[in-house]
Amino acid sequence: MKKNWVLSQESFDALLSWLDPDRETAGIKYERIRQRLLKIFLARGCPDAEDLADETINRVANKLSEIRKDFTGDRLRYFYGVANKVAMESRRKPPQPPPTPPVDSDRIEQESHCLEHCIQRLSPENRELLLKYYYAEGRALIEQRKSLAERLGIAPNALRIRAFRIRAALQKCVEKCLDRSLK
Contact, 30 vs 15, CB < 8 A? yes
User: What does the pLDDT read at residue 9?
Assistant: 85
Q: How far apart are CA 95 and CA 114, in angstroms?
A: 36
Shared domain check, 77 and 16: yes
Shared domain check, 126 and 73: no
Mean per-residue pLDDT over the chain, rounded: 87
Shared domain check, 112 and 40: no
Specify the higher pLDDT residue, 159 or 101: 159
Shared domain check, 74 and 118: no
Looking at 92, 121, 136, the residue that finishes a domain is 92
Q: Residue 4: which pLDDT band, with cuts at 50, 70 and 90?
A: low
Looking at 57, 92, 127, the residue that finishes a domain is 92
Q: 30-82, pLDDT tens digit by residue? A: 999 999 999 999 998 888 889 999 999 999 998 888 888 888 888 889 999 99
Contact, 159 vs 149, CB < 8 A? yes
Q: 10-25, pLDDT tens digit by residue? A: 888 888 999 989 999 9
User: What does the pLDDT read at residue 3?
Assistant: 58
Shared domain check, 127 and 59: no
Write down how long the chain is.
Answer: 183
| CA proximity to 36, closest of 75, 89, 90, 92 | 75
| CATH number of the domain where residue 156 is located | 1.10.10
Shared domain check, 77 and 117: no
Start-to-end CA span in the chain (Å)? 48
Q: Residue 5: which pLDDT band, with cuts at 50, 70 and 90?
A: low
User: What does the pLDDT read at residue 89?
Assistant: 87
Residues 6+ apart with CB under 8 A from 156: 145, 146, 149
Q: Residue 153: which pLDDT band, with cuts at 50, 70 and 90?
A: very high
User: What does the pLDDT read at residue 95?
Assistant: 64
Residue 43 lies in a domain: yes
Residue 100 lies in a domain: no
Residue 160 lies in a domain: yes
Cα dihedral 143, 145, 148, 150 sign: negative
Q: How far apart are CA 30 and CA 24, in angstroms?
A: 10
DSSP state, 99? P
Number of folded domains in the chain?
Answer: 2
Residue 138 lies in a domain: yes
Quick check: 98 pLDDT over 60?
A: yes
Q: How far apart are CA 83 and CA 75, in angstroms?
A: 13
Domain of residue 15, residue span: 9-92
Contact, 88 vs 32, CB < 8 A? no
Looking at 92, 117, 148, the residue that finishes a domain is 92
What string of H, E and C letters represents the secondary structure of 103-143? CCHHHHHHHHHHHHHHHHHCCHHHHHHHHHHCCCCHHHHHH
